[in-house]
Structure 1
Amino acid sequence: MKYDFIVVGHGLAGAILSYTLRKRGHQVLVIDEPRASGASRVAAGLLNPIAGKRFAKTWLADTFIPAADAFYNELEARFEQQLFVHKPIYKIFSSIGEQNTWMAKSGGGEWGDYILATHTQSINQPGIDDPNGGIMIGRGGNLQVALMLDLLEQELTGKGLLLPERFEIDKLQLTEGGVKYKEQEAKQLIFCEGFQVIHNPYFRWLPIQPTKGEVLEVQTQNFDPECIYNKAVYVVPVGGSRFKVGATYDWRQPDEEPSATGQQELSERFSQIASQQFQVVHHWAGIRPAVRDRKPLLGTHPQYPQLAVFNGMGSKGVLMAPYLAQHFSDVLEGKAEVVADVHICRYLSLYYDYIK
């Protein structure tokens, strides 16, 4: 059968892009090997508009957040299930110095409704250790990523548009009219493989750094389920007095095996937020596709225009992917050029070194 696009990978990026293309009327085939340990399924799906210890507004937050809200609202209406849980994020100051850093930056007018309140003292929430206070962040929350992926996979399967198998790149043929993979043909093939792109002979020159992230699910009591907590790690309510705690960042040993070191690190950091006892219920690990400059990687291959890549969202996929999927769909339809900040051409020197 002839398709407009073949999408390889159905993690967060591939799922959102393939849905966006299908919604525009394109025939899309998705190829994905089912893997319970994929980074998208492990993640808590956090969307946080304020990043890091420097209290910087997340890159292009004013653009990405409205697009993300509209996209997840649309999916919720389509499947009649809640997928995105809007919750304030309480970012706890780790020291008076961190509080002072925020107070020096907070006088600007760029924060809008991203900051709901600033607390210079503890909010006196039972079980929460916040002697220096913190900031309450709005416009955030968490996506139930695994549920969204399951619903979209069921839809693809019902329409006969999903091949649940490992993509064998040696079976890919480039043709004058596009690509052929086994018995399937398409005008273009888009790789949304996450960190697996490092094994892809067409795109392994891209500066993807596989980064292991570990996540715990813990059970405890006396937490406010209306709030997400953040202090070195996030604590996301998932129901039934259970919370996801994460995540670690390890680029030295990028495997998908939960480690004792990771569990100890997350447990210690959770104890810096919560003063009560807890039990570890689950422990997962996944590998994120991190990029050198922390910007996504979008574009068509420098030599083979029938091949494209949509990758490198790292830990920000829930925030970035809906808008970038719309943008890249415009590019694939010939209506736009990839914006410079995310275009793979910014690393063309690596490609030329690769093909020498």
Structure 2
Amino acid sequence: MNYDFVVVGHGIAGATLAYTLRKQGQQVLVIDEPKANSASRVAAGLVNPVAGKRFAKSWLVDTLLPYADSFYDELEERFKQQLFIHKPIYKVFSTIEEQNNWMAKSAEGNWSEYIGATYTQSTGQDPSVQDQFGGIMIRKGGYLRIAETLDLLLQDLQQDNALLPERFEMDQLRLTEQGIAYKNITARHLIFCEGWQAVQNPYFRWLPLQPTKGEVLEVQTQDFNPECIYNKAVYVVPVGEGRFKIGATYNWRQPDELPTPEGKEELSERFEQITTQTYQVSRHWAGIRPAVRDRRPLVGRHPEHAQLSVFNGMGSKGVLMAPYLANLFAKALIEGTELLPDVHISRYYSLYYDYLKHHNPEL
């Protein structure tokens, strides 16, 4: 079988890119080993336009957010299901210093598009919420029902015989003058969307990926307000019927996908700093995010093998970033347009040449 593109991996990055390429009339095959605890499936799929303790707008949010909204609206129309849940995010101040930091930051510019209200003391709306220093209500937040979205896109691929549900075997890949050959498959181009496992990819292991383990809990509690997402050291996302998803930890030292008692304890303690509600832990997951040293995605062609590309490194921001960047990359691959310098892997080409000097791989 001959294709225009082979996409390896069907997390949020690979799924979004494959959908975008297919929408533009390209023949696409996705190769993906089914895995229940992939980082995308474990994640809460959160979109937060104001991130971090420094109260900065998320990178390129004014561009990424409208595009993501439109993309998920399109998927909802296609599949006749609600997939993106719009909810405000109540960022609870942990200390008076954090409150003061926000008051200083908010004086620097117009935040009205993303901040609905600022509270300098408890809102008093839910006595179980521990927000004695107040907080800010962030607009235009929400979360993607990510596992359901990926499943629908997989079904779409299956219906068109565009899915090979197996582990990609690197030793079966051959580079040709026309593109690539893999088993009985040929294609003009292959794109790796493997997430953290790119650290084992012989063509792209030189990229500065930092696999970061994250653990997530699902808890059951009946009387906690489900009208907003809470954020205070962890996020607390209402997912329906008294269930809340709590996450996530950040662990660079244990690059495995096994839930730990320490992770459960950390998340439980932080949840208890937000609410006094009693709760029961119903589920506990762990996954590995593909984080990058400079916190920008890794997108672009291999410096020597033009038939190979990477679309990766979105960390915990894949739901927000992937739709716009997938469209940008699809145009670059099909029409030869330019990528954003901030995401292009050319910023790390020097690492590739250092890698060749030290390893001299036979690629």
Settle same-fold status: TM greater than 0.5: yes
Query: What amino acid is aligned across from residue 4 of structure 1 in structure 2?
Result: D
AA paired with 1:171? Q
The residue type equivalent to 1:260 in the other structure is: P
Instruction: State whether structure 2 residue 298 is matched by structure 1 residue 327.
Output: no
Q: Which amino acid aligns with 1:279?
A: Q
Q: Which residue of 1 aligns with 2:286?
A: 285
Aligned-residue Cα RMSD (Å) equals 0.7
CA contact (8 A) 2:131 2:274 kept: yes
Contact kept? 2:217, 2:281, Cα under 8 Å: yes
Number of equivalences: 356
Counterpart secondary structure, 2:250: coil
Kept after mapping to 2: 8 A contact 1:153/1:162: yes
Provide structure 2 residue ranges, at least 5 long, that are not aligned to the other structure.
Answer: 358-363
- Find the counterpart in structure 2 of residue 204 from structure 1: 205
**Which residue of structure 2 lines up, in the alignment, with residue 31 of structure 1?**
31
2:142 is matched by which residue type in structure 1? G
1:196-235 equivalent positions in 2, closer than 5 A: 196-235=197-236
1:122 positional shift: 0.2
Partner SS state of residue 235, structure 1: strand
Which amino acid counterpart does residue 127 of structure 2 have in structure 1?
Answer: P
Q: Residues of 1 paired with 2:21 and 2:268: CA distance?
A: 41
Query: Would you say the 8 A contact 2:224–2:277 is kept in 1?
Result: no
User: Distance in 2 between the 1:251 and 1:95 partners?
Assistant: 27
**Partner of 1:57 in structure 2?**
57
CA contact (8 A) 1:113 1:138 kept: yes
Name the structure 2 match of 1:69. 69
Deviation at residue 112 of structure 1 after TM alignment: 3.2
1:11 CA displacement: 0.4
Q: Percent identity?
A: 69
Report the equivalent of 2:94.
Answer: 94
**Is 1:174–2:175 an aligned residue pair?**
yes
- Whether the 8 Å contact between 1:8 and 1:190 is mirrored in structure 2 is yes
Is the contact between residue 126 and residue 222 of structure 1 (CA under 8 Å) also seen in structure 2? Answer: no
- 1:318 and 2:319 correspond: yes
Contact 1:213 1:288 in 2 (8 A): yes
In the TM superposition, residue 146 of structure 1 has moved relative to its aligned partner by 0.2
Displacement, 1:224?
1.5
| TM-score computed with the length of structure 2 as normaliser | 0.97
One-letter amino acid matched to 2:351: L
C-alpha separation between the residues in 2 aligned to 1:237 and 1:108? 32
**1:193 maps onto 2:208 in alignment:** no
Distance 1:32 1:321 in 2: 18
Deviation at 1:334, TM superposition (A): 2.6
Provide the C-alpha distance between the structure 2 equivalents of 1:126 and 1:188, rounded to a whole number of angstroms. 57
Letter matched to residue 251 of structure 2? D
Unaligned runs of 5+ in 1: none
Alignment map for 1:1-356 (pairs within 5 Å): 1-124=1-124, 125-356=126-357
- What's the secondary structure of 1:304's corresponding residue? coil
Aligned mates of 1:139, 1:177 — CA distance in 2 = 45
4+ residue segments displaced more than 3 Å: none
Deviation at 1:111, TM superposition (A): 1.9
2 CA distance for matches of 1:74 and 1:171?
A: 36
Question: Residue 224 of structure 1 aligns to a residue in which SS?
Answer: coil
Distance in 2 (CA, whole Å) between partners of 1:231 and 1:161 is 42
8 Å CA contact 2:212, 2:288 repeated in 1: yes
